[in-house]
Amino acid sequence: MTLSRRRVVLSIEDDEAVRQSLEAALEFSDIQVVSYPEGGAALAWLRTLEDGYLPSLILLDLQIYGGGMDGWRFRQEQLADDRLAHIPTVILSAVSRGEVDRAMMGCAGFLPKPFDLEALLAAIHKSETTIRDAVKTMAAVPAAKRRTGKP
Assigned domain for 92 exists:
yes
CATH number of the domain at 115, please.
3.40.50.2300
User: Which pLDDT score, from 0 to 100, does residue 86 have?
Assistant: 93
Task: Assess contact for 126 and 110: CB atoms under 8 A.
Answer: no
Q: Which is more confident, 24 or 145?
A: 24
**At 44, is the pLDDT very low, low, confident or very high (cuts 50, 70, 90)?**
very high
What mean pLDDT value characterizes the chain?
Answer: 80
CA distance 89 to 86: 9
Residue 23 in any domain: the answer is yes
How many Cα neighbours within 13 Å face the side chain of 114?
5
DSSP 62-99: S---SSS--HHHHHHHHHHSTTTTTS-EEEEE--TTHH
Structural domain contains residue 3: no
Percent share of the chain, pLDDT over 90: 41
Looking at the domain assignment, is residue 1 inside a domain? Answer: no
Q: In what side-by-side order are the strands of the sheet with 89-93?
A: 32-36, 8-12, 57-61, 89-93, 109-112
Of residues 142, 137, 150, 145, the one with CA closest to residue 86: 137
pLDDT for 102: 82
d(CA 87, CA 100): 20
Domain that holds residue 34: 8-148
Residue 146 has pLDDT above 70, yes or no: no
pLDDT for residue 33: 93
* pLDDT tens-digit series, residues 61-102: 988 887 889 999 999 999 999 999 999 999 888 876 777 788
If one counts the domains in the chain, the total is 1
